[in-house]
Amino acid sequence: MFRKKQGIREGSPLADAFIYIAAGLICLLTVYPMYYVLIRSVSSPEHALAGDMFLLPKGFDLTSYRIIFADATMWRAYGNTLLYVVCTTLLMLLFCTLCAYPLCIPTLRGKKILIPYLLIPMYFSGGLIPTFLVMNRLGLYNNIWAVILPGSLSIWNIILVRTYFSSIPETLRESAEIDGASHFTIMTRIYLPLAKPILAVVTIYTIVITWNSWFNALVYLPDTQLQPLQLYLRRVLVENTVDLTKLPMNEVAEAVRRALSGIQMKYAMIIFTTLPVLFAYPFFQKHFIKGMMVGSLKG
């Protein structure tokens, strides 16, 4: 008798088709809302208000984008946001690596006390009023550092980086110490080049959070010259709210036109403010997926 050769059993074509269909539907549900906002932002104000487009824009109109690009105040707010994002991200990476590297060394004294000490403020905070009083006493009120510094340190990101550092073989650090390398050299020459995936995760997290943040600026930055883009958008949308019942008859038509343009501009602003984050993600995608899997799961 001859035994049948054991081959690798391939998946069912029906199951593969079901997986592809499910993945396609998930992609469609994820992408279509943003696409709908895009076609609504380039449709005419009347159709943008009615929302009667589904696949293609109706009454192609780029007036809202022209208004946005011609607004000097918007560009100043845009520059402020870029400044806050760059400074906060660089400081976040610096603080995370400087805090995470010592915590991954087994011979660190007081290590068992430091880790619980770091975990406490991750779950409990002093609240808004004590934080505001501290910022005021430090002279940071109406100062850009009031927005940058609080977002430059995250206990969660420190734990992620520390977990990834702990997954690096200890023999690499010991070999470098035998060769006379200092801790700073070990961190910059060995750990940081190997930690690109988790640093990419921290970078994209910080960029997204800082780009979308507005509450700290609302509390600590009363000067409109220092406010970020998100507060500018909030201010514009509020100022575009018009009560037609309190206007003379000769101004009602103009107010209606401005209200319709405001509806279209709202969607144009969503697209305009989302594009930088969407363009930033592909640069970190390769390291981002690996960092999410390794830095979050390994202990």
Quick one: pLDDT band at residue 66, thresholds 50, 70, 90?
Answer: confident
Overall average pLDDT of the 249-270 stretch? 60
Any idea what DSSP says for residue 8? P
pLDDT exceeds 50 at position 297? no
194 within 8 A of 168, measured Cβ to Cβ: yes
Q: What is the pLDDT of residue 238?
A: 62
How many of the other CB atoms lie within 10 Å of CB of 111? 13
Overall average pLDDT of the 25-33 stretch? 85
Any idea what DSSP says for residue 108? -
* 135-to-141, 172, 214, 227 alpha-carbon distances in Å: 6, 42, 17, 17
Structure confidence by residue, pLDDT tens digits, 79-138: 899 999 999 999 999 999 998 888 888 888 877 788 788 888 778 777 788 888 888 888
Amino acid letter for position 261: S
In whole angstroms, give the CA distance from residue 135 to residue 131.
6
Residue 241, SS3? Answer: coil
Structure confidence by residue, pLDDT tens digits, 225-253: 888 888 887 776 665 543 434 445 454 44
Q: What is the pLDDT of residue 290?
A: 57
In whole angstroms, give the CA distance from residue 43 to residue 41.
6
- Calculate the average pLDDT of the chain: 78
In whole angstroms, give the CA distance from residue 277 to residue 242.
32
Q: What is the pLDDT of residue 92?
A: 93
Percentage of the chain modeled with pLDDT above 70: 79
pLDDT exceeds 70 at position 276? yes
At what angle are helices 72-103 and 111-123 packed, to 10 degrees?
150
Higher pLDDT, 203 or 57: 203
Quick one: pLDDT band at residue 261, thresholds 50, 70, 90?
Answer: low
Q: What is the pLDDT of residue 8?
A: 47
Q: What is the DSSP string of 179-211?
A: TT--HHHHIIIIIHHHTHHHHHHHHHHHHHHHH
